[in-house]
A and B are shown apart, each in its own frame.
Chain A
């Protein structure tokens, strides 16, 4: 109907191109082995991995290494709404405090936990939903495939962040959980389409034909022969989705669609609150923004170099 590829059309093409990467994976495990050999020497991957590992470690141990309680306000008496709304750095408080006298460094450290939780859970739930729909479409084919894929296409045709806003705004009370659900839902169609494409490629592969020639049952064909070999692009995509989920979560909480409780720090929320002071005290916005960008960059670099390493076309 449209002459040039629509927004949804472009997204579909991109996902299908990713799924196609698994088609010529004739070498199977040896492909993964050779991919790992390349990744081990890839500075981009190692850099991304480094950022990711540091972030995860900090998120896990942050309650014990944070110098202050992120909810307490030890510098509250230094806050002067008219002259000095944001207390600057001083001994024991290297980054200063926010507008409520809470230690900024501690809030940034502990805030990494929320980011990690949102990223990981949104990706896991999105993956589960996508796997379910993808397996349904990829193993039954025919009418089931058509119905599932049309639903997926409709979801893909709405810009993902807009869809996430809508879902998060539909919740009666915004919270961290609604945020996770909203971001998980927008990942479902991407995973579903990716897995289906990858499974279709596997279904016509030689080893599936060989298994069918031995009379292997349909369920075993799907779960033992097709699915495990189709997971490569899905797993790579999951790494990239982690980065997207972190950015989207920050965007949603920046707009106030996340948890309203600011005793539990969250980078997007901190960024949102810093707007009032952005001209006089830009560091309040810069620190959480830098954190978000760095972590998202780490996951993206890791995911992109994994995808490149697993792509048989770039293999030497």
Chain B
């Protein structure tokens, strides 16, 4: 109950969010090892039709967040706390069976590697119809025309022939399109895309992103976009959450966040991207150090050892989450000031 109150303080919505993640925590416990907090109190909302980005480097907890929402983390060795309220129902409190009924019907997911995410020994058509057989109670014969339309919808040429193809007979881009078709087969209201373009080459990446954008606009499906690629975020997301070491460190509307990053980590990510319009010979500004330098959030800012703005208090005091007046959120003692941003 307190969860809903907090949400309404943070963002007064005219209509409720489709998915509201509140204080999600995932702890990995391995026998004989210190418990590791992979996700450490993540909260965010997704409104119908909205595209929300979760951005961060490897190991920041973005994929674990999505798997936890989907209930796909192995039971053993993982402890999940918090709530993920989808249309008034806490997904994390559902039984395995109830969750299985929702996956693919209400929420679907697209994975990183389209080659290994398709069953190599089953034709594409059977894999697409499987979802419809499962959730809509259709027979395979009845579902086939729908599967054909879906493949056509996601831009696969000659869909009738492709239905009979095996995954290895399709190119990487085609496979990712087929996976998107499977995810959309039951018209879910929420789609989670976990680095959907990472395994594809650049031209195909652009096509897949354009397709996702188009599908989201046409169907009104909400999208959670998980990526380490700020270019993907820039083209697609309405709202961006920047994750660092299991916590959201900055959140904001895409345009404002890119124009004026406040957190030194976001700023660092943006200035470490090579730009065509930067002067010749200018060096890139990578973020120094690695995640292994992190401090625990409990008594410090985890990013402090790698941060150019870090001061004494960053190493002894956890920065609180603060909302700024333009609807942005930030977790930082010493944010980047506006005049510094122009450079980089």
Is B one of A's binding partners? yes
The answer to whether B119 touches A229, judged by C-beta atoms less than 8 angstroms apart, is yes
Taken residue by residue from 109 to 149, chain B's Cβ proximity to chain A (1 for < 8 Å, 0 otherwise) reads as 10101011111111000000011001100000000000000
Once bound together, how far apart are the Cα atoms of A17 and B119, in whole Å?
A: 23
Chain B interface: which of A92-100, A106-114, A202-210? Answer: A202-210
A117 CB-CB contact with B under 8 Å: no
Q: A216-B134, A220-B130 are contacts. A28–B103 as well, Cβ < 8 Å?
A: no
Instruction: Check: B108 CB closer than 8 A to any chain A CB.
Output: yes
How many residues of B are in contact with the other chain, CB < 8 A? 30
CA distance A33 to B179 in the complex (A): 23
What residues of chain B lie closer than 8 Å to A25, measured between beta carbons?
120
- Does B70 lie at the interface of the complex (its beta carbon under 8 Å from any beta carbon of A)? yes
Asked whether A29 and B121 contact (CB < 8 A) given A213-B72, A215-B135, the answer is yes
- Closest chain-B Cβ to A180's Cβ sits at a distance in Å of 31
A211 surroundings in chain B (CB, below 8 A): 119, 130
- 8 Å CB contact of A30 from B101, B103, B130, B168: B168
Shortest A198–chain B CB gap in Å is: 13
A27/B104 in contact, CB under 8 A: no
1/0 per position for A15-53, CB-CB distance to B under 8 A? 000000000011111110100000000000000000000
Contacts of A207 in B (CB 8 A): 116-120
Let me know if B166 and A29 touch, CB within 8 A: yes
State whether B131 touches A214 (Cβ < 8 A).
yes
For the complex, is A225 an interface residue (Cβ under 8 Å from B)?
A: yes
Residues on the B chain within 8 Å of A31, using CB: 120
| CB neighbours of B130 from chain A (8 A) | 211, 214, 216, 220, 224
Verify B120–A28 contact, CB threshold 8 A: yes
User: Can you name the residue of chain B whose Cβ is closest to the Cβ of A213?
Assistant: B109
Q: Given that A206-B111, A228-B122 are known contacts, is A213 also in contact with B116, CB under 8 Å in the complex?
A: no
* Inter-chain contact A215/B105, CB cutoff 8 Å: yes
Binding site for B on A (CB under 8 A): 25-31, 33, 205-207, 209-217, 220, 224-225, 228-229
Give 20 A-B pairs besides A27-B120, A29-B166, A220-B130 with Cβ atoms closer than 8 angstroms.
A27-B168, A28-B121, A31-B120, A33-B168, A205-B116, A206-B117, A207-B118, A210-B109, A210-B182, A211-B119, A211-B130, A212-B72, A212-B100, A214-B130, A215-B100, A215-B131, A216-B131, A224-B119, A225-B119, A228-B119
Q: Which 8 A-B pairs have the closest CB atoms?
A: A28-B120, A214-B104, A215-B104, A215-B103, A30-B168, A206-B116, A210-B117, A213-B109
